[in-house]
Amino acid sequence: ISLSGKTSTNVQKKGQTEESIVRKLMLDTWNQSIFNDIKKRLQDSAMRLVKAERNGEAFDSQLVIGVRESYVNLCSNSSDKLKIYRENFEAAYIEATEEFYWVKAPEYLQEHGVEAYMR
């Protein structure tokens, strides 16, 4: 216990709470001021890289990993840390995957037959 009567644990908790509030305000401001304006371009670029990978083209996979991690780190909602990721990156990724396989599956079936497709 310090001379002020406060325990170091209470001081640490207060500091962590203040840090959490500042972090939340910072993330919310970033999301509203900057991210909302660039997220469509960012998602489109990331999905182009995913498509390039699926088509066997060379690219830096760390770019997609960095974008994905950024979406996770942008969320200020401590009860749902994946909210921004799910609503943006994951949704775009699933849509791009669906579009890719709607084209590739019939091509593969035509070329290799049902038996090879089912393996």
Which pair of structure tokens corresponds to residue 55? 């088509």
CATH architecture, domain 39-118: Up-down Bundle (1.20)
Neighbours of 85 (CB within 10 A): 20
pLDDT for position 16: 66
**The pTM is what?**
0.69
pLDDT for position 78: 80
User: 20 CB contacts (<8 Å, ≥6 apart)?
Assistant: 78
Could you read off the pLDDT tens digit of each residue along the chain, which spans 119 residues?
555 555 555 655 666 687 788 988 988 898 888 888 998 999 999 999 999 999 999 888 898 899 899 888 888 888 888 998 999 899 999 999 999 999 999 998 999 988 887 87
Cα dist from 117 to 15, 56, 75, 101, 109, whole Å: 57, 19, 40, 12, 6
Domains of the chain, residue spans: 39-118
User: Within a 13 Å sphere around the CA of 66, how many CA atoms are in the beta-carbon half?
Assistant: 7
pLDDT for position 46: 92
